[in-house]
């Protein structure tokens, strides 16, 4: 897209003047064309100078800029590349950005990111480069946001520039540089194309634009007229044109700026064009858009206070027809680059084009879902196929029919700019929730853990939910199912190590989590039998060999000791009071020895980590001593093994 119809002219001095030597005559001639924005002529002259052997950083910079301003990014990338082979200490950061944009336009995202990184190193306050540092995977994110629209060309496109369709009550109004049989046609030296005029088109049932005709008006300007916005009653039109009042108005640098005008309709003709009061010949004001209730007018400008090359502004339209002072939409929307072509949908969403936000090409289309409170979380790149490697801009849409239009200079078009129709297939942000069910378990034995604390964080570790596992070790919560949103779950409980897991909500309605908490090394004096919730270790009557059911429980002891290699235990084996005291003491010692040997052998546990002793019936846990009548269940309580931690 050619800058003359986007917005504003801001010139940058690429090279420190104290290093520029005497220029060759051919380059000087090219510079004169460049200084008056006759870029096509400048290109021819600069190429001739290079063929004659002339070379300088300024020559490369101006030639690259001439291609860049005419959206010839292939050649712009070549000559910015030559410029970057010069002494980088003498090249302004804006050329790093332009080179990165040109590389992106030809699909070399990796090299483009390298030059944005160099720009960040040169100036870490430049948000265009800083954004890349904080979101290096932006291309993948844009891919996830893609395929929400279908696009197609429209029938009114010509071999010239056709762009910026705007809704009217009888179809659309658009700007075009097409020929219309006029014998003498003025041509813009910037691009070599005819100047712009306003046209109307009818909207076919399928959304196609047909039957292009010149807009009827009594204010035919000698030069450019472009972007429009029409009130709902169809009686007032705001539009962009060159500064003109009894001759073209130029600023102190000799630049013709853009201004906003208002016209009224009488019958089928637009009449009485008048300037808006906040125009100024020292800066541009362009590309109008009306709020749904027609009480606010949005536009782009490079007026004082602008952050970048152009920012988005808004004024109130008062009941008496006057206007408030312009208000900048702020640095969440505006960048150091070009932020332009606003459009407000009926739902209040602000669509705009920018080359300062991270995108796929030069100008990408973005939407801010709440322009009264813009944040990083409510500004979205529309993704493919709306956005491409080239300029994509002037997006409009009808919220009811989901049909709209935008302009692009992408490859494969009929003219230098073409209008495309769009059909929205799904919402920018789909409203839905996902139910996340989870359990908290002991990592060692898989048993459920009750009353564990579960905290859910977003990707920036802001707390979203605080939960507690129930009697079944379970928990549940809901989240918005935004695509590619990553969250974190943290499970905690006293005497356990915490478990943190990241998970992604990808649009499914259900998600399962399992938090496994690992017990911390037990304190000295802890009985692992109780800590690990072991089942009783039984021996056959009057026997001391390890039964298969006992092996299962001892395997848990082995696993724990392997998990915590510093832990040492003392195995204590006990019997009930039935039988003689001496017999029970010997039996408990045999069983103790079998238990220790099994753990050492099966678990390959070092001898110094496990000791033990049989206590017979000397340490009963209840009243069932000799001579006391007790049930089998009561005697069973005394037949036990203890695994006491003696070092951790």
pLDDT tens digits along 327-372: 999 999 999 999 999 999 999 999 999 999 999 988 999 999 999 9
- Residues spanned by CATH 3.30.1330.60 within the chain? 528-647
The reported pLDDT for the residue numbered 220 is 62
User: At residue 9, does pLDDT exceed 60?
Assistant: no
User: pLDDT-based confidence at 569, cuts 50/70/90?
Assistant: very high
Question: What are residue 379's DSSP bridge partners?
Answer: 368
User: At residue 12, does pLDDT exceed 50?
Assistant: no
> For the chain, how big is the Rg over CA atoms in Å?
38
Q: Are 57 and 86 in contact (CB under 8 A)?
A: yes
The reported pLDDT for the residue numbered 181 is 40
Question: What are residue 647's DSSP bridge partners?
Answer: 568
The reported pLDDT for the residue numbered 397 is 97
| Average pLDDT value over all residues in the chain | 87
Put simply, whether the predicted model's pTM sits higher than 0.75 gets the answer no
The reported pLDDT for the residue numbered 4 is 38
Q: Which CATH superfamily is domain 433-519 in?
A: Carboxypeptidase-like, regulatory domain (2.60.40.1120)
C-alpha distances in angstroms, 641 versus 146, 366, 534, 554?
A: 64, 69, 10, 11
Q: Is the dihedral of CA 393, 431, 149, 487 positive or negative?
A: positive
Helices and strands of the chain, counted as H and E runs: 13, 31
Residues 203, 187: Cα–Cα separation, whole Å? 30
User: At residue 66, does pLDDT exceed 80?
Assistant: yes
Both tokens of residue 287?
């590309």
CATH 3.40.50.740 matches 528-647: no
The reported pLDDT for the residue numbered 256 is 66
Level-2 CATH architecture, domain 3-136:
Alpha Horseshoe (1.25)
- Residues spanned by CATH 2.60.40.1120 within the chain? 433-519
- Residues spanned by CATH 2.120.10.30 within the chain? 149-424
User: At residue 23, does pLDDT exceed 70?
Assistant: no
User: At residue 22, does pLDDT exceed 70?
Assistant: no
Q: Phi first, then psi: what are they for 644, rounded to 5°?
A: -90, 130
Paired sense of beta strands 403-408 and 392-397, if any: antiparallel
Both tokens of residue 390?
């080239």
Mean pLDDT confidence for 104-120: 90
Mean pLDDT confidence for 447-468: 91
- Residues spanned by CATH 1.25.40.10 within the chain? 3-136
* More confident: 88 or 236: 236
Packing angle, helices 57-69 and 73-83, rounded to 10: 160
User: pLDDT-based confidence at 69, cuts 50/70/90?
Assistant: confident
Indicate the range of 75-89, 389-403, 475-489 predicted with least confidence.
475-489
Three-class secondary structure assignment of 537-595: CCCCCCCCCCCHHHHHHHHHHHHHHHHCCCCEEEEEECCCCCCCHHHHHHHHHHHHHHH
User: pLDDT-based confidence at 179, cuts 50/70/90?
Assistant: low
- Residue labelled with tokens 């939910």: 465
Indicate the range of 12-26, 65-79, 252-266 predicted with least confidence.
12-26
Q: Are 440 and 517 in contact (CB under 8 A)?
A: yes
Q: Phi first, then psi: what are they for 156, rounded to 5°?
A: -80, -5
Question: What are residue 378's DSSP bridge partners?
Answer: none
pLDDT tens digits along 623-646: 999 989 999 889 888 888 899 999
As a whole-number percent, the residues of the chain with pLDDT over 70 amount to: 90
Closest to 453 measured CA to CA, from 504, 486, 500: 500
As a whole-number percent, the residues of the chain with pLDDT over 90 amount to: 59
Q: Which range is most confident: 237-251, 266-280, 508-522? A: 266-280
The reported pLDDT for the residue numbered 255 is 59
CATH, range 149-424: 2.120.10.30
């Amino acid at each position: 897209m050619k800058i003359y119809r986007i917005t504003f002219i801001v010139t940058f001095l690429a090279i420190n003047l104290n290093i520029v030597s005497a220029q060759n005559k051919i380059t000087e001639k090219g510079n004169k064309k460049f200084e008056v924005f006759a870029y096509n002529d400048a290109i021819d002259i600069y190429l001739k100078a290079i063929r004659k052997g002339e070379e300088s950083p300024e020559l490369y910079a101006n030639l690259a800029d001439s291609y860049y301003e005419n959206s010839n990014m292939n050649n712009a990338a070549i000559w910015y590349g030559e410029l970057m082979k010069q002494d980088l200490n003498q090249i302004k950061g804006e050329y790093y950005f332009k080179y990165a944009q040109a590389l992106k336009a030809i699909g070399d995202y990796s090299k483009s990111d390298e030059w944005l990184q160099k720009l960040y190193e040169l100036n870490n306050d430049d948000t265009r480069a800083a954004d890349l540092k904080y979101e290096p995977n932006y291309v993948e994110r844009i891919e996830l946001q893609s395929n929400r629209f279908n696009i197609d060309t429209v029938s009114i496109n010509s071999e010239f520039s056709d762009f910026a369709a705007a809704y009217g009550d009888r179809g659309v109004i658009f700007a075009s540089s097409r020929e219309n049989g006029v014998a003498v046609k003025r041509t813009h030296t910037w691009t070599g194309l005819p100047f712009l005029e306003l046209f109307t088109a009818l909207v076919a049932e399928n959304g196609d634009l047909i039957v292009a005709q010149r807009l009827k008006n009594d204010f035919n300007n000698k030069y450019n007229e472009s972007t429009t916005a029409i009130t709902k009653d169809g009686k007032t039109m705001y539009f962009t044109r060159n500064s003109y009042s009894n001759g073209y108005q130029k600023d102190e640098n000799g630049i013709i700026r853009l201004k906003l005008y208002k016209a009224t309709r009488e019958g089928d003709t637009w009449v009485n064009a008048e300037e808006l009061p906040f125009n100024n010949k020292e800066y541009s004001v362009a590309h109008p858009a009306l709020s749904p209730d027609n009480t606010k007018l949005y536009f782009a400008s490079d007026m004082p206070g602008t952050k970048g090359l152009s920012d988005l502004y808004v004024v109130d339209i008062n009941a008496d027809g006057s206007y408030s002072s312009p208000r900048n939409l702020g640095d969440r929307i505006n960048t150091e680059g070009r932020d332009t072509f606003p459009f407000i949908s009926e739902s209040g969403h602000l669509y705009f084009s920018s080359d300062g936000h991270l995108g796929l090409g030069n100008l990408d289309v973005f939407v801010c879902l709440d322009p009264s409170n813009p944040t990083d979380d409510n500004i979205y790149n529309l993704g493919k196929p709306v956005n491409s490697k080239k300029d994509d801009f002037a997006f409009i849409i009808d919220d009811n029919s989901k049909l709209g239009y935008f302009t692009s200079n992408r490859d494969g078009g009929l003219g230098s700019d073409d209008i495309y129709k769009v059909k929205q297939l799904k919402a920018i942000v789909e409203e839905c929730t996902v139910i996340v069910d989870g359990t908290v378990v002991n990592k060692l034995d898989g048993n459920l853990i009750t009353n564990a604390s579960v905290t859910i964080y977003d990707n920036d570790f802001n707390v979203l939910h605080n939960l507690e596992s129930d009697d079944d070790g379970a928990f549940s919560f809901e989240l918005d199912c935004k695509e590619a949103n990553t969250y974190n779950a943290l499970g905690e409980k006293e005497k356990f190590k915490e478990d943190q897991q990241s998970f992604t909500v990808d649009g499914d309605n259900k998600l399962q989590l399992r938090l496994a908490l690992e017990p911390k090394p037990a304190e000295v004096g802890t009985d692992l039998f109780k800590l690990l919730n072991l089942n009783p270790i039984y021996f056959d009557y009057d026997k001391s060999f390890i039964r298969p059911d006992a092996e299962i429980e001892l395997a848990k002891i082995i696993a724990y000791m392997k998990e915590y290699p510093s832990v040492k235990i003392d195995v204590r084996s006990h019997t009930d009071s039935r039988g003689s005291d001496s017999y029970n003491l010997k039996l408990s010692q045999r069983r103790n020895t079998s238990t220790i040997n099994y753990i050492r052998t099966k678990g390959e546990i070092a001898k110094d980590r496990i000791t033990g002793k049989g206590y017979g019936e000397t340490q009963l846990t209840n009243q069932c001593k000799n001579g006391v009548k007790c049930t089998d269940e009561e005697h069973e309580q005394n037949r036990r093994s203890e695994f006491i931690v003696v070092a951790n």
